[in-house]
Structure 1
């Protein structure tokens, strides 16, 4: 009976160790191209309320975080509206989970798996 208990506990520890190795880690893009950039654009556009965004060709290749500033509402003469000077930015984080690259929006809890993307983890 003790042998079964020891084997069961050992198996549980082994499985726990395997699962913790698949945790999502901050990452940067290594390869992607136009298709990946389009997936990024579509996801970000859905989060920012349909406003179009322009992403650089090297987006998420230097840092796992991406900040998108909100467009400041302007009056008819192009001046910022009162009380609208400190709009928070949208924050996105690229993570690697197993072989998948995933873009997360921590503010909403939404994420998207980037098909065809390759990424590598970065030191924290």
Structure 2
């Protein structure tokens, strides 16, 4: 009898844990505050290198994905070099997990929680 009660208790705990863990769902930002913009910039720069990136005022407000093109290689006189078409873009994805907005870089498996960001599930 005790074994059945223990088994039922374990099942109840496992079910409760499953309900509390939420899957990451595609999201868009509700607004882009300066602090959130800085976090986006810092994370993206950590992946792509360089000192900063140029982000639109409405970055990630209309799309769950962000693509950052690699800088065009130039020669010593600033002229574009051949082969630009072969440079892949960096892809970032915004997801919502519970109340948190998380920016992911699927290529590296890295992600960052955007502190103070407000996001909503992306329209389907």
TM-score by length of 1: 0.85
Q: CA deviation at 1:76?
A: 4.4
| 8 Å contact kept, 2:32–2:59 | no
Give secondary structure in 2 for the equivalent of 1:102: strand
What per-residue deviation string (whole Å, max 9, x for no partner) do you get for residues 89-112 of structure 1?
000111111111111111111111
Q: CA deviation at 1:79?
A: 4.5
**Which residue matches 2:56?**
56
| 8 Å contact kept, 1:32–1:116 | no
Question: 2: CA distance between counterparts of 1:99 and 1:16?
Answer: 17
List alignment gaps of at least 5 residues for structure 2.
none
Question: 2: CA distance between counterparts of 1:50 and 1:11?
Answer: 47
Going from structure 1 to structure 2, the CA distance change for 1:84 and 1:54 (only over 3 Å counts) comes to: closer
Question: 1: CA distance between counterparts of 2:104 and 2:30?
Answer: 17
Q: How many residue pairs align between the two structures?
A: 122
Moved segments of 4+, more than 4 Å: 76-79
Asked whether 1:109 is paired with 2:109, we answer yes
List alignment gaps of at least 5 residues for structure 1.
none
Q: CA deviation at 1:39?
A: 1.2
Question: 1: CA distance between counterparts of 2:27 and 2:61?
Answer: 9
Going from structure 1 to structure 2, the CA distance change for 1:118 and 1:62 (only over 3 Å counts) comes to: same
Question: 2: CA distance between counterparts of 1:67 and 1:50?
Answer: 16
Q: CA deviation at 1:78?
A: 5.0
What per-residue deviation string (whole Å, max 9, x for no partner) do you get for residues 48-101 of structure 1?
111431111100000110000111212346554234422100001111111111
